Structure 1
């Protein structure tokens, strides 16, 4: 396994981590929004 494939592997997992973080934040925001909307 060369140096280039290690860098590509790292970038792939960083992108995966970013996508997971963004989707979790969006879902948390959606839940909070629905909770506040349901209180009215």
Structure 2
């Protein structure tokens, strides 16, 4: 049961990022900055 909830949460998170481009871009930029990755 816990595995199903975990998978469902992951699916919901992926769909949220697909539906919310602005939030996705902000997260990507912050992670890249934290990791020291050059932005394209």
TM-score by length of 2: 0.51
Larger RCO (CA within 8 A; separation ≥ 6): 2
Q: Which runs of 5+ in 1 are unaligned?
A: 27-40
Partner of 1:16: 14
Q: Which runs of 5+ in 2 are unaligned?
A: 23-40
The CA RMSD measured in Å over matched residues stands at 0.9
Compare CA radii of gyration and give the structure with the larger one: 1
Q: Give the helix-richer structure, 1 or 2.
A: 1
Query: Which runs of structure 2 are paired with 1:1-40 in the superposition (5 Å)?
Result: 3-23=1-21, 26=22
What SS class does the counterpart of residue 6 from structure 2 fall into?
A: helix
Paired residues in the alignment total 22
